Amino acid sequence: MNKHELGGPEAVLRYEDNDFTILRQGYYVRCAVSGAHIPLDELRYWNVDLQEAYRGPEEAMQRWRALEVKP
């Protein structure tokens, strides 16, 4: 199976400041915004406080804007 055939199990991670810890082995995690599968070797964006992953900078920014407190 290659990284583009993500039919295996979903991983469970603990997101930390500059790294993550694998709590349950798997091939991918899901983007909290889009639901897209993210292969672990491509995971670059996550939120430590919310413990969620993002596919890329666009999804991370979209989530940040949605959480922004507006006066």
Please list the pLDDT of the chain residue by residue as tens digits (71 residues). Answer: 454 555 689 999 999 999 999 999 999 999 999 999 999 999 999 999 999 999 999 999 999 999 986 66
pLDDT at 1: 46
pTM score, whole prediction? 0.84
Which tokens in the block code for residue 4? 């583009």
Distance CA 29, CA 6 (A): 10
Range of the domain at 32: 12-67
- 1 lies in some domain: no
Alpha-carbon distance values, 18 to 9, 26, 39, 64, 68 (Å): 24, 20, 18, 18, 23
pLDDT at 41: 97
- 5 lies in some domain: no
Counting the structural domains of the chain, the total is 1
